[in-house]
Structure 1
């Protein structure tokens, strides 16, 4: 199966994905990319990289390429809130610096990851490049408004994935590129916005990761460029 790469491996979903991929034993090695080192199983090789630093992505890709082909890449990073950053409830709260930071992580970063990691996928045989999106990035499904920066950055990510899929199909016809909605996951990203009672589509990171890996495993080239939920159902753009 070659190797697997998880970008954003230190996050809640990213760590769960990395550990579950390593536990399958299906990959020669699982590469976990994050800003800071952490304790990992023996099957995981850590690389320092961050989405806002293209040089670090290029260096990590170069080191991984030297070890052979990559059959799976997952970008598991995302930014919804942080120091000085919160989802906007009204257009009056729009701040260009905040918007730029959210887009840098949610849209530009995954695009740069694709720039450096898509060339590592084999030209023949099935491979997957997936990035975590969000249902609120669906333009058609927007019923509540608000959350301008996050919604727009994820909608833009979906377009990036769709466009990458069209181009990649020309040289890697069996590759599958996906934007994935992981559900509402009990991580620091969603903590301030989760309701008290869990419902359908609410998971801990391990369960969300397991659902996502099943979707990745079952997706074929005909679904490349698609936007899929944790249960495999397509989400309208």
Structure 2
């Protein structure tokens, strides 16, 4: 499936309990060339919970012996919860929602970059973090969804900055932000995701196709599921 990776490549999906993360893990496990495909979430062993900072470093240390990994994907994130929905106006902004959204979409992934980048194969590897097109500042025409947009924009900056640093020590590593598009999932269903989205398995296949085409020179980029480069 992933022709640019060597036979017997190793993959890791963080956020594997979500729709896209689960579909990515299923696709990787179905690939005969993938020797190891590990999923991490709040209930896995080891577990990862972005609400528990220490869990990220602990999981990375426990998995270090299973590496090096040729592919690591962070598919964890949040748009809404039982406590809040995306803000429609400035009057909806609140600390609790801002903190929860940034913790899931920016702070947690930042520590994934810190702790999991050392597990990447120096010969050829991709570290992909799922972002969102609504996190593009240049493409923002509708407004609203303040904390989600801002947290994904922050994630994009973290990816870009990490890519610059890693290029010095791991020139064959590609670190990218990927937009999966609208998927029929718990995240998008309150916003007509079941009507306008596509199956998670299709999104996973598209993302893996983009990942397979990535070269080290693409590191620090922001790409859509169709391979299109997106504006910051």
Q: Taking structure 2 as the reference length, what is the TM-score of the superposition?
A: 0.93
User: For each residue in 1:26-59, what CA deviation from the matched residue of structure 2 results, as whole angstroms up to 9, or x when unmatched?
Assistant: 222111101124xxxxxxxx53111222321222
* RMSD, matched Cα: 1.3
* Unpaired segments ≥5 residues, structure 2: 1-7
What is the distance in 2 between the residues matched to 1:52 and 1:74?
19
Please say if 1:20 is aligned against 2:20: no
What is the distance in 2 between the residues matched to 1:34 and 1:203?
23
Please say if 1:54 is aligned against 2:53: yes
* Unpaired segments ≥5 residues, structure 1: 38-45
Deviates more, 1:24-33 or 1:168-177: 24-33
| Residue matched to 2:39 | 32
| Residue matched to 1:132 | 130
What is the distance in 2 between the residues matched to 1:178 and 1:95?
30
What is the distance in 1 between the residues matched to 2:51 and 2:211?
26
* Mapped contact 2:130–2:180 kept (Cα < 8 A): yes
Q: Given the superposition, is the C-alpha separation of residues 35 and 169 from structure 1 closer, same or farther in structure 2, using an over 3 Å criterion?
A: same
Deviation at 1:216, TM superposition (A): 0.5
* Mapped contact 1:11–1:77 kept (Cα < 8 A): yes
Say which structure is richer in helix: 2
Query: Which of 167, 170, 173 is the matching residue for 1:172?
Result: 170
Query: Which of 201, 208, 226 is the matching residue for 1:206?
Result: 201
Q: Taking structure 1 as the reference length, what is the TM-score of the superposition?
A: 0.91
Q: Given the superposition, is the C-alpha separation of residues 196 and 112 from structure 1 closer, same or farther in structure 2, using an over 3 Å criterion?
A: closer
| Residue matched to 1:4 | 11
Please say if 1:234 is aligned against 2:213: no
* Mapped contact 2:184–2:193 kept (Cα < 8 A): no
Deviation at 1:166, TM superposition (A): 0.2
What is the distance in 2 between the residues matched to 1:215 and 1:61?
25
What is the distance in 1 between the residues matched to 2:55 and 2:195?
40
* Mapped contact 1:32–1:47 kept (Cα < 8 A): no
Alignment size in residue pairs:
225
Q: Which SS does the other structure have where 1:4 is aligned?
A: strand
* Mapped contact 2:185–2:193 kept (Cα < 8 A): no
Q: Which SS does the other structure have where 1:28 is aligned?
A: strand
